[in-house]
Amino acid sequence: MAKCVRRITLEQFVAQHGMGMIPDTCELHRLPGLYGRARKRAMEEGRRRCAQHGIELERLRAEYDRLVETGEIVPPTAEERLEETARGNAESEQVQAARRVLVKRAARREERETALPVEFGQRGGSKMWK
């Protein structure tokens, strides 16, 4: 029986475990209305949560790497990630750029497949190498 292999990125793996890649500690850069001890206490709590997030993220990264090594998870290829991005909201600049890249790659691939092979010693070559 074929083994089911998941194709997910590290970011998706971390999200499946209820975390984000970036800690949600907004109080580290902005504490309106807090002064003195209250501000210091909030900053310490934020630093503690940020450090805890880093420890947990490293644990998940190590687990992801272990699963990749054992073959239970396969990281998606660059082409697959690009296709995933291209399936997003059509108004997004990132999605539009991904779609343009995919169209150009498909045209280049088609050009390579239809190009005549260059004879050994022939100068000029085909459009394939331009």
Measured CA to CA, the distance from residue 31 to residue 66 in angstroms comes to 39
pTM higher than 0.75:
no
The answer to whether the beta carbons of residues 9 and 73 sit under 8 Å apart is: no
- Work out how many domains the chain is built from and give that number: 2
Higher-confidence residue: 116 or 96? 96
In terms of domains, do 70 and 85 share one?
A: no
pLDDT band at 76 (very low <50, low <70, confident <90, very high): very high
Domain of residue 18 covers 1-76
* In a domain? residue 44: yes
In terms of domains, do 67 and 90 share one?
A: no
Exposed/middle/buried for residue 64 (C-beta within 10 Å: 0-12, 13-18, 19+): buried
Q: Which percentage of the chain shows pLDDT scores above 90?
A: 48
* In a domain? residue 122: no
- In tens, the pLDDT along 5-46 reads 788 999 999 999 988 888 776 556 667 777 889 888 888 888
In terms of domains, do 53 and 82 share one?
A: no
* In a domain? residue 100: yes
Residue 50 has pLDDT above 60, yes or no: yes
* In a domain? residue 129: no
